[in-house]
Structure 1
């Protein structure tokens, strides 16, 4: 019984560890506009979301938007939760509560030379600007 419990805990922590990391997207714009999305999935089950935008022009200030909360994974699906009383303040204003995403990575059974970057794609969210957004895992 103890061994079974240990194996279950080990498997859960292993699957949680597979999704942790920093996911980013920074498209190259020809006009000099800078846009960057960053999502950090921490091993303790918390996340931090950051959206940076610097539009070219003298009257357009640099903008930063943040969000934080907790996340959990079930297989390749990741669910995001935010608590209004502790996850929102003057800095953290983006609400990713009830957002859902899918992790895409190369299958361990795929023995080809094909390169598949690990990514996370939001497929359901109350924030329309992140629905369909795909961020790629940063190699550390």
Structure 2
């Protein structure tokens, strides 16, 4: 009985590790109108839990015309939901000012059982965020 329980726990831990491998990586989104406006987002989810986010905005006639915003912290996954958190003491400084606390995103990918030719880009869809412009925003995996 102990052997069966140990094997089941081992298999369960393997599936948890395998799932986290799918989430880690680089995500990006670029929105632009040629010669006028550019908005770029880049999110890196590291395998061991930290994340780094960069937002670049260039607006014609904007004050200032170019804006860079950064955020960092930790992420964790449960099912297909990713929760972001930032520690006010460790993750904030003059450069890193975005607060990702209360931010959650859904990991969206094509279901392995789906045998159709439909193309589904792997992405994170932000459902909630303390950053208003991140809500309902999709960032695609590279």
Q: State if a TM-score over 0.5 links the two structures.
A: yes
Match of 1:96 among 74, 81, 100: 100
**1:115 alignment counterpart:** 119
Q: Distance in 1 between matches of 2:44 and 2:34?
A: 27
Match of 1:70 in 2: 74
Comparing 82-91 and 3-12, the one that deviates more: 3-12
Shift of 1:78: 0.6
Deviation at 1:127, TM superposition (A): 1.3
Q: CA RMSD in A?
A: 1.6
Structure 1 spans left out of the alignment, 5+ residues? none
Paired position in structure 2 for 1:84: 88
Q: Return the match for 1:22 from 15, 26, 32.
A: 26
Structure 2: runs of 5 or more not aligned? none
Q: Which has the higher strand share?
A: 2
CA distance in 1, matches of 2:62, 2:95: 24
Alpha-carbon distance, 1:30 to partner:
3.4
Relative to the length of structure 1, the TM-score reads 0.91
Normalised by the size of structure 2, how large is the TM-score?
0.90
For the residue of structure 2 that corresponds to 1:26, the secondary structure is strand
